[in-house]
Structure 1
C-alpha cells in the first residue's frame, strides 16, 4: 500500500499542448473559409470578375477621339509629304541652276570662236564642203547639245533686256525701235542669258 501511494503521478509527455490544441480547435470550430474571398488582398474574387460596361456616350467619345487622332495623323502626313515635295523641287531647281552656271562658264570661253565663225559666214568664207565649214558645223553642234541657243536677227523688235544697243541709226519709215544689224550674236542657256546681243538699232527719223 505504501509503495503505490509513494509513486508520483506521470504527466503527459507534451505537457499542456493537448489543452492548447483543444482550445485552438475550439476557436476555429465556428469559422468556415469563404472560397470567394481572397485573404491576401482582402477583396472578394466575385467582385473582380464584374465586367465594366460602356455607355453610348462613352463609345461616342472614344469614336470621336479616334477620328480626331486619325485626322491629326493624316494632316501630319500631308504636311510632311508637301514639305518633301517642295524640298525636291528646290533641290532640282538648284541643281539645274548650278548645271547652267557651269555650262555657261564653259561656253563663254568659246564665244570668241563662235563670233569668228559668224564673221567668216557673213564674208562668205564658209563655203560648203570646206574644212572651215566642217569645223564650224561641229562646234555649233556641240554648243547646241549643251543647250546654248543663239538669238538676235535684223528686224527683231529691240528689247533692252536682250539687246545691247551700240548705235542708234535714224531710219526713214521706222515706226519703232528695231534691230538694224547684229554685231555680236546673243546667247541663252535655258533661262540664263550668257551674253546679250550687240546690235545697231533703227529708230524713227525726225
Structure 2
C-alpha cells in the first residue's frame, strides 16, 4: 500500500461497474431488457398505481364513515320524534283528564240545586213563571255538558246504579218503587247513585185476572 491511498483498497483488485442504462451512450441503440434495469419510465407507473389505489381506498373509507354517521343520526332523530309524539299524547290526555275532572267537580256542586228544583217541580212551583225558565236553562246547560239522570219508578233495579234503602218485595226481578234521590251520569261515568226503594213488578192485567180466577 502506498502513501495517500485509503485503507482497505487494493490496486490489483479489478473494479466492476454495471451500466444498466437502456440506451447505449456510444452507439445510441436500445439494449436488451435482460441486460438493462428498469428505467424511470417503467418505475413510475408502479408508484402511480399504488398511489391511485391508496387514493381510491381513502374516499371509500370516508364514504362508509359518513353513511354510518347518517344512519346513527337518523336513528336518533326517529327516537326523539317518537318520544316527542308520546309526550304530546300524554300531555293531551292529562289535559283532557283535568278538564273532565274540573267539570265533574263543578257539576257535583250543582246537584243539590237540581234536587231542590225537582222538589219544587213536584209541588207545582215550576209550572210557569221565571223560576221555570231558569230551571229549564240550567238543566239544558248541564245536559249539553253530558249530564243525564236515571232512576225512575218502574225501572229494573240495578245495584250498580241504584242504592236500595228499603225492600218491599220478594220477587226475583225487583223494580224501583219510590225514588228518594235521582241518580246522575256524566258521560259514561256514574257520579251519583240513585237512592230508591225496591219492590216487585206490577202484574199485567191479564196476569192479575188469572190470579183472581185461580182464587
TM range (shorter): 0.5 to 0.7
Give the paired residue count.
Answer: 144
Higher strand share: 1
TM-superposed CA distance for 1:83, in Å, is 1.1
Mark the CA change 1:52 to 1:167 in structure 2 (over 3 Å): closer, same or farther: same
Mark the CA change 1:197 to 1:126 in structure 2 (over 3 Å): closer, same or farther: same
- The residue matched to 2:172 in structure 1 has which SS? coil
Mark the CA change 1:111 to 1:142 in structure 2 (over 3 Å): closer, same or farther: closer
Mark the CA change 1:89 to 1:101 in structure 2 (over 3 Å): closer, same or farther: same
- Which residue of structure 1 lines up, in the alignment, with residue 152 of structure 2? 153
Q: Distance in 2 between matches of 1:140 and 1:186?
A: 18
> What pairs up with 1:18-167 in 2 under 5 angstroms?
54-105=58-109, 107-120=110-123, 125=124, 130-131=128-129, 135-146=131-142, 147=145, 148-167=147-166
User: CA RMSD, aligned part only?
Assistant: 2.9
Q: C-alpha deviations, 1:153-197, integer Å up to 9, x for none?
A: 1232222232111111215xx432322332322223345544321
Q: TM-score, normalised by structure 1?
A: 0.57
TM-superposed CA distance for 1:60, in Å, is 2.7
Q: C-alpha deviations, 1:39-92, integer Å up to 9, x for none?
A: xxxxxxxxxxxx965343442342122112112112112211211221122122
Q: Which runs of 5+ in 1 are unaligned?
A: 1-50
Mark the CA change 1:136 to 1:104 in structure 2 (over 3 Å): closer, same or farther: same
- The residue matched to 1:154 in structure 2 has which SS? coil
TM-superposed CA distance for 1:93, in Å, is 1.3
- Which residue of structure 2 lines up, in the alignment, with residue 34 of structure 1? none
The answer to whether the 8 Å contact 1:100/1:190 transfers is: no
